[in-house]
């Protein structure tokens, strides 16, 4: 089966390309660096020729401002049009648990807009909603930092390893289209402020985690379950304390 991975040179995309290739699929990594640009449409028709499945794990280079929605709407619109012309039978998109619960965030609003385009297209689809990746934990801490303080809300948090995100997306991509969504998450649900307090200690990071119910997460205030999935989510097995990248995460 020919599978095109949009964003195939990134964190999750590169893992997907490797895993799907190991299972005997013809996999093409589509990214500007490989001559495929979803914003301009460059290389899309050639990349999608003969493809049965397209997986979109690309991401906006920024997370705040109207440009975020412009990115997702333009890129997704171009991609879906090219897929329809190529006769692609399954569009898979990686999204985020809680997109619809955080309208105060430019990024989450943009992801909702992206999903609406996918749901409204003629192409059978599957949406994979994942919780935050372990690989992004340091970035979350940095975005919440004011001086020497990391301000984090005392809400539920259930991050997962990028390796297991790629595994889940890969499984969905070779199955029948869901025409709906599935949620995936890490094996442990913890309080977010406590998670970051432990994480910074593990990194040897001198910053102080301050519990702040009004702390914003990429522009939005959080409620207790804003970032965690429902009870029927598929859970990974790797815990943050056992994750091979933990030591490097603090650097």
Domains and CATH numbers, the chain: 2-249 (3.40.50.720)
**pLDDT tens-digit series, residues 133-175:** 999 999 999 999 999 999 999 999 999 999 999 999 999 999 9
How far, in Å, CA of 105 to CA of 97, rounded? 13
Sign of CA dihedral 70, 46, 58, 3: positive
pLDDT digits (tens, 9 = 90+) for 67-95: 999 999 999 999 999 999 999 999 999 99
Tokens of 167: 């595994």
Q: What's the predicted TM-score (pTM) here? A: 0.94
Kindly state the average pLDDT of the residues 100-126. 95
**Tell me, what DSSP letter sits at residue 213?**
T
Residues 32-54 pLDDT 10s: 999 999 999 999 999 999 999 99
DSSP state at residue 160: B
Instruction: Quickly list H helices, the chain.
Output: 11-22, 44-48, 66-86, 106-120, 137-143, 162-173, 192-203, 246-249
Tokens for 114, please give them.
């992206």
Nearest to 245 by CA among 193, 195, 199: 199
Judge contact between 173 and 1, C-beta under 8 A: no
**Residue 133 DSSP class:** B
Q: How far is CA 175 from CA 19, 109, 153, in A?
A: 15, 28, 38
Q: Which residue in 67, 95, 102 sits closest to 220, CA to CA?
A: 102
pLDDT 10s digits, 207-233: 999 999 999 998 889 999 999 999 999
């Amino acid at each position: 089966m020919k599978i095109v991975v949009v964003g195939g040179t990134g964190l999750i995309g590169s893992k997907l390309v490797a895993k799907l290739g190991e299972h005997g699929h013809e996999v093409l990594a589509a990214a500007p660096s490989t001559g495929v640009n979803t914003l301009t449409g460059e290389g899309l028709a050639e990349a999608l020729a003969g493809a049965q499945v397209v997986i979109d794990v690309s991401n906006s280079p920024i997370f705040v401002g109207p440009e975020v929605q412009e990115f997702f709407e333009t890129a997704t619109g171009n991609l879906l049009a090219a897929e329809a012309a190529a006769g692609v039978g399954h569009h898979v998109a990686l999204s985020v648990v809680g997109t619809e619960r955080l309208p105060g965030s430019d990024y989450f609003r943009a992801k909702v807009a992206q999903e609406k385009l996918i749901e409204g297209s003629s192409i059978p689809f599957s949406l994979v909603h994942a919780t935050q990746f372990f690989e992004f934990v340091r970035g979350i801490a940095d975005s919440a930092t004011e001086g020497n303080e990391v301000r984090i809300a005392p809400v539920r948090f259930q991050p997962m390893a990028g390796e297991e995100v790629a595994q889940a997306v890969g499984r969905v991509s070779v199955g029948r289209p869901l025409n709906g969504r599935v949620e995936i998450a890490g094996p442990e649900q913890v309080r977010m402020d406590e998670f970051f307090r432990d994480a910074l200690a593990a990194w040897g990071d001198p910053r102080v985690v301050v519990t702040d119910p009004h702390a914003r997460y990429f522009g939005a205030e959080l409620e207790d379950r804003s970032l965690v999935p429902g009870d029927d989510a598929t859970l990974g097995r790797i815990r943050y304390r056992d994750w091979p990248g933990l030591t490097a995460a603090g650097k």
